[in-house]
A and B are shown apart, each in its own frame.
Chain A
């Protein structure tokens, strides 16, 4: 399935948007413009990082995800919660309260994404053992980072780890388990409980897979609010021992968890989209030095920092750390699952996208490039954003590309 061009990753509440340019100035791919006093997103350039949602001072930006009721479209509903969900709860004595709660609010089965993550870690170690070409390898677990590389850092495509994301591995295993139980495939609905809109985007498009394995993506925040009253009423005897994950899977929720579980000596973990961009630039320039494995997460703190969480990322990270004592060190092993190694790998290579070229014809692009640099000479080059473009440069590109009229004036020069 090809990328759905118009898949919206964020929505705008028009009444709340004041046209303040906060989101526009901080968008890492310059995908936002403010037109007629409202922010609009070019979804071809959007990598679904969620920065605009996080930064909007008026709460006008909302991540796009599925309504909880979509689970009712399926007879057999499976919840696959991200380990970051556990970080949302205060004083959680046992994660089985959360998993039992999921069954109470309507799901028929649960499988923690931490299980898929642990299997992903073991697969990573095997891939490293077999690898003999150039380092470094870049993790593909954060879909916003993966998308950023596919739109902007084409040269780094060969460095991408060809491993399915833990959520895809978990969804595959959960579906197989239901089929083995005799549930008709058409009745099975697999729902990821997600910390971020990038996962919504990636899972609906099916990056690295032949077809999406997930039937819906719910928000950690929505599910938390549904779970809380149910969990508070659970008696100890009702709680079922459903958790099957380990510390390895749990620590994937925070930045550095994935690289630590790969057992390599030379690794680097960076989080926060601006830091990620710095690392990718250095890597492209060959100035990063010797590193074998690079874990990059768009959100500060890792998945606990996603915009669909309730809790502050640092608080959630601290809780995840505290929860470690309740899990075994390891628990899931490839040998016990009985699948081939290929089961855990990309089923197809994701394709790079040319969204930043000025024109597909190089000569026309050259003409535009010269025109843009000529127009720039007339501008104050202070990137104030008043014109509705994030930089003077973007303003010129919009003019030359025909997005706005050539007659439009810089508001500072009026």
Chain B
């Protein structure tokens, strides 16, 4: 099945630039005629993922494949990895440091929100090597 394949670099040092890739994806989905509720789910889950890569992994790559009936967003980083995925999924749990929290991030809602808005969330992580998060949103 043909897909629109998009790749973005997510810079590790800049909270403000996180989200620019999301804007591009939103625009493509709008042109495709995807419902705005689904566009919102893609946008929120992807934005949360981008922010996570900025906070925890010094940035990474966002690879987006848009199909007629779904979007597949893959976020790949080479950061420190997630030690306990189950614990990381718990709402309110965060390993973000004080500095990050003072900036208003690190509330421990990133992964729970990604799970809430995506239809499928797959986390593959190896401590010391990095994390790959795959989020699938099926379109109505």
Binding site for B on A (CB under 8 A): 152-156, 281, 284-287, 354, 356-360, 362-363, 365-366, 368-370, 372-373, 397
Residues from chain B with Cβ under 8 Å of A373 in the complex: 4
CA distance A154 to B35 in the complex (A): 8
> With A286-B44, A366-B2 given, is the CB distance from A153 to B32 under 8 Å?
no
Taking a contact as CB atoms under 8 Å apart, the answer to whether A287 and B47 are in contact is yes
**Can you give 28 A-B contacts (C-beta < 8 A)?**
A155-B37, A155-B39, A155-B40, A156-B36, A284-B39, A284-B40, A284-B43, A285-B19, A286-B40, A286-B43, A286-B47, A287-B19, A354-B33, A356-B30, A356-B31, A357-B31, A357-B33, A358-B32, A359-B33, A362-B33, A363-B68, A365-B33, A366-B4, A366-B67, A369-B4, A369-B28, A370-B2, A372-B31
Taking a contact as CB atoms under 8 Å apart, the answer to whether B40 and A358 are in contact is no
Shortest Cβ distance from A397 into B: residue: B31
Closest 3 CB pairs of A and B: A155-B36, A357-B33, A154-B36
Interface hits, B1-59 → A, CB 8 Å: 2, 4, 19, 22-23, 26, 28, 30-33, 35-37, 39-40, 43-44, 47
Residues from chain B with Cβ under 8 Å of A359 in the complex: 33
CB distance from B45 to the nearest CB of A (A): 10
Residues from chain A with Cβ under 8 Å of B30 in the complex: 152, 356-357
Taking a contact as CB atoms under 8 Å apart, the answer to whether A365 and B32 are in contact is yes
Q: Which of B30, B32, B37 counts the most A-chain CB atoms under 10 A from its CB?
A: B32
Number of interface residues of B (CB under 8 A): 23
CB distance from B52 to the nearest CB of A (A): 14
CA distance A110 to B39 in the complex (A): 47
CB distance from B72 to the nearest CB of A (A): 14
Residues from chain A with Cβ under 8 Å of B4 in the complex: 366, 369-370, 373
Residues from chain A with Cβ under 8 Å of B36 in the complex: 153-156, 284
CA distance A333 to B130 in the complex (A): 63
Shortest Cβ distance from A373 into B: residue: B4
Residues from chain B with Cβ under 8 Å of A156 in the complex: 36
Binding site for A on B (CB under 8 A): 2, 4, 19, 22-23, 26, 28, 30-33, 35-37, 39-40, 43-44, 47, 66-69
Q: Is the interface of B mostly helix, strand, loop or mixed?
A: helix
CB distance from B67 to the nearest CB of A (A): 8
CA distance A356 to B33 in the complex (A): 8
Taking a contact as CB atoms under 8 Å apart, the answer to whether B23 and A281 are in contact is yes
Shortest Cβ distance from A357 into B: residue: B33
Residues from chain A with Cβ under 8 Å of B35 in the complex: 154
> With A154-B36, A155-B36, A363-B68 given, is the CB distance from A369 to B44 under 8 Å?
no
CB distance from B7 to the nearest CB of A (A): 12
CB distance from A44 to the nearest CB of B (A): 15
CA distance A358 to B4 in the complex (A): 14
CA distance A34 to B14 in the complex (A): 38
Shortest Cβ distance from B32 into A: residue: A365
Taking a contact as CB atoms under 8 Å apart, the answer to whether B33 and A360 are in contact is yes
Residues from chain B with Cβ under 8 Å of A153 in the complex: 36
Residues from chain A with Cβ under 8 Å of B19 in the complex: 285, 287
Taking a contact as CB atoms under 8 Å apart, the answer to whether A285 and B32 are in contact is no
Residues from chain B with Cβ under 8 Å of A360 in the complex: 33
Shortest Cβ distance from A152 into B: residue: B30
CA distance A362 to B30 in the complex (A): 11
Residues from chain B with Cβ under 8 Å of A362 in the complex: 32-33, 68-69
CB distance from A287 to the nearest CB of B (A): 7
Shortest Cβ distance from A354 into B: residue: B33
Residues from chain B with Cβ under 8 Å of A397 in the complex: 31
Taking a contact as CB atoms under 8 Å apart, the answer to whether B40 and A366 are in contact is no
Apart from A357-B31, A362-B69, what 8 extra A-B contacts exist at CB < 8 Å?
A: A154-B36, A284-B26, A285-B44, A362-B68, A363-B68, A365-B33, A366-B67, A372-B31
CB distance from B109 to the nearest CB of A (A): 11
CA distance A153 to B27 in the complex (A): 11
CA distance A354 to B31 in the complex (A): 10
CB distance from B106 to the nearest CB of A (A): 15
CB distance from A22 to the nearest CB of B (A): 23
CA distance A191 to B22 in the complex (A): 45
CA distance A354 to B35 in the complex (A): 10
CB distance from B132 to the nearest CB of A (A): 23
CA distance A363 to B28 in the complex (A): 14
Taking a contact as CB atoms under 8 Å apart, the answer to whether B44 and A366 are in contact is no
CA distance A89 to B36 in the complex (A): 45
CB distance from A258 to the nearest CB of B (A): 25
Residues from chain A with Cβ under 8 Å of B39 in the complex: 155, 284
Residues from chain B with Cβ under 8 Å of A152 in the complex: 30
CB distance from A368 to the nearest CB of B (A): 8
CA distance A111 to B44 in the complex (A): 46
CB distance from B12 to the nearest CB of A (A): 19
CB distance from B30 to the nearest CB of A (A): 5
Residues from chain A with Cβ under 8 Å of B66 in the complex: 369
